[in-house]
Amino acid sequence: MADRISRHDVAHVAWLARLELGDEELERFTTQLADVLDYAAEVEALNLDGVPATSHPYPVGNVLRDDVPEPGLDRAEVLAQAPETEAGQFRVPPVRGEAP
């Protein structure tokens, strides 16, 4: 285990997260977190000069159609098909707790 993280560090993070860890769990998590930090250090040490930054490993394109405005529905025609209307709007049952 590297000196990257100590048992005390893991216990402190567990305390901050309001986790109760036993001795065995502290040992296991300290080892696991040290391994993660060692791997992160290996990745950080890679020479990435000339490698472009990417957010996705595969080429991704927009699969949506172009956003082209189109005329909407005729208001009078739509309201004519509604079960009930009032003042040029749909009339719906009151929301629970509201007075009619």
28 domain residue, yes or no: yes
Supply φ then ψ for residue 58, to 5 degrees. Answer: -115, 150
* Residue range(s) defining the domain that contains residue 7: 2-45
Using CA atoms in the order 20, 41, 57, 52, what is the torsion angle rounded to 10 degrees?
A: 140
In a domain, 18, yes or no: yes
pLDDT tens column, 29-78: 999 999 999 999 999 999 999 988 888 888 888 788 888 999 999 999 99
Residue 99 in domain: no
Residue 39 inside a domain? The answer is yes
Which pLDDT belongs to residue 1?
42
Whole-number Å distance between alpha carbons of 87 and 83: 14
User: Is residue 97 a part of any domain in this protein?
Assistant: no
78: in domain: no
CA dihedral 56, 59, 60, 63 (to 10 degrees): -170
Angle at 55 between CA 51 and CA 56, to 5 degrees: 95
When divided into structural domains, the chain yields a total of: 1
CATH number of the domain at 15, please. 1.10.20.60
